[in-house]
Amino acid sequence: MGCMEHRPRVVDELLTSSALVRSGLDDRHLRHAADRGRLTRVSRGVYLDTTRWGDLEPEDQHALRVNVLLRRSSARLVASHSAAAVVWGLPLLHRPPPEVHVIDPGRRTNSRSTTMVRHALPLHEDEHVARDGLAVTSPARTAVDLALAHGLHAGLMAYDHGLREGLFRRDDLERCLAGRRRSPRRKIADLCLQLADEGSMTPIESVSAATLHLLGLPRPVRQEPFFDERGKIGEVDSWFPQFGGVGEADGDVKYTSVERRGGRDPAQVAIDEKSREDRIRAVPRVRQFSRWGYAVALSPPRLEARLRSAGFPLP
């Protein structure tokens, strides 16, 4: 997600009704091609080859819509929330929404249309920047907006990622939060900052950390290394030294990503993971081991049941 370097090339492939009309041709064939499924409508009067559109990740599709919509707008709009997140590569809890979210400095109330959500929010000079010619909220402001709009899981994902990738520092988040004292979810956004850990290497680890906190567990040690007589086994996502518990949050990317598989097929990855788990379980200081996926990580009742079945001493 957030592959900004590829987007200018995609933008150059867009077909627009206005360009066709300027060349003296009729734009009806664009609409007809869209009706037949050969073209996908990116925005009003803007189309892209459907196969090319399908090759893009959902985040890059949304980023393309952001690019088109803001460049065609005459208002002083600043991409925000999910629209800014896909520009910076911040992870989203769910797929990007159909509408592009923006902050409109000239508005006093929020408004929504089929293509755009305009937020009437305060925006300090240091909270927005130009990115590839677009006005966009800063990474720290974007992360804070996600926490305030969508809650603990979404906020912690953004905070962890931004801290780990060097997009912002903790004091950047603190400054953004200082200007949002009256926001309804301010306490949740503050909690995200307390829990934020650049040691969380993937979005599912951040989501898991949020749910583990809601379940009353102590804050785990991230990326704790384990060894046996054969040498280093690896690092675990969550280690609870208080009671010897290991928690592993497995996203689908571990089995589907060519890069993460390192030349192995998914079946071999599963075999290797089972061998790794067996070795970790055999380490004397490990007394409980539990593994879960994204859907379980998002659900406190389901994760609680999974941990209890593994013998974790939950409150």
Domains of the chain, by residue range, sit at: 203-309
Residue 270: the pLDDT is 78
User: Shortest CA distance to 205 belongs to which of 159, 242, 241, 166?
Assistant: 159
Residue 253 has what pLDDT?
56
How does strand 245-249 pair with strand 288-292?
parallel
pLDDT attached to residue 6: 42
CATH number of 203-309: 3.40.960
**pLDDT at residue 117, rounded to an integer:** 97
* Confidence (pLDDT) at 10: 82
Distance spanning both ends of the chain, measured CA to CA: 37
Q: Which residue(s) pair with 112 in the sheet?
A: 117
Question: pTM value?
Answer: 0.89
Place of tokens 């497995």: 250
H, E, C per residue of the chain:
CCCHHHHHHHHHCCEEHHHHHHCCCCCHHHHHHHHCCCEEEEECCEEEEHHHHHHCCHHHHHHHHHHHHHHHCCCCCEECHHHHHHHHCCCCCCCCCCCEEEECCCCCCCEECCCEEEECCCCCHHHEEEECCEEEECHHHHHHHHHHHHCHHHHHHHHHHHHHHCCCCHHHHHHHHHCCCCCCCHHHHHHHHHHCCCCCCCHHHHHHHHHHHHCCCCCCEEEEEEEECCEEEEEEEEEECCCCEEEEECCCHHHHCHHHHCCCCHHHHHHHHHHHHHHHHCCCCCCEEEEECHHHHHCHHHHHHHHHHCCCCCC
Tell me, what's the pLDDT at 75? 80
pLDDT in the model for residue 1: 47
Q: What is the pLDDT of residue 136?
A: 98
- In 3D, which of 200, 100, 213, 209 has the Cα closest to residue 160? 200
pLDDT tens, position by position, for the chain (315 residues)? 454 444 546 888 888 877 766 665 567 778 888 889 998 999 988 999 999 999 999 999 999 999 999 998 878 999 999 999 999 999 999 999 999 999 998 888 999 999 999 999 999 999 999 998 899 999 999 999 999 999 999 999 999 999 999 999 999 999 999 989 889 899 999 999 999 999 999 999 999 999 999 999 999 999 999 999 999 999 999 999 999 999 999 865 555 554 555 666 777 777 888 999 999 999 999 999 999 999 999 999 999 999 999 999 998
Scan for tokens 């091609």, then name that residue: 33
Structure tokens at 142: 């974007």
Give φ, ψ of 134 to 5 degrees.
-110, 145
Residues 6+ apart with CB under 8 A from 168: 138, 139, 140, 143, 162
Would you say how long the chain is, in residues?
315
- Determine phi and psi for 2, rounding to 5 degrees: 70, 35
pLDDT by residue (tens digit) across 222-274? 999 999 999 999 999 999 999 999 999 986 555 555 455 566 677 777 788 89
C-beta separation of 179 from 165 below 8 A: no
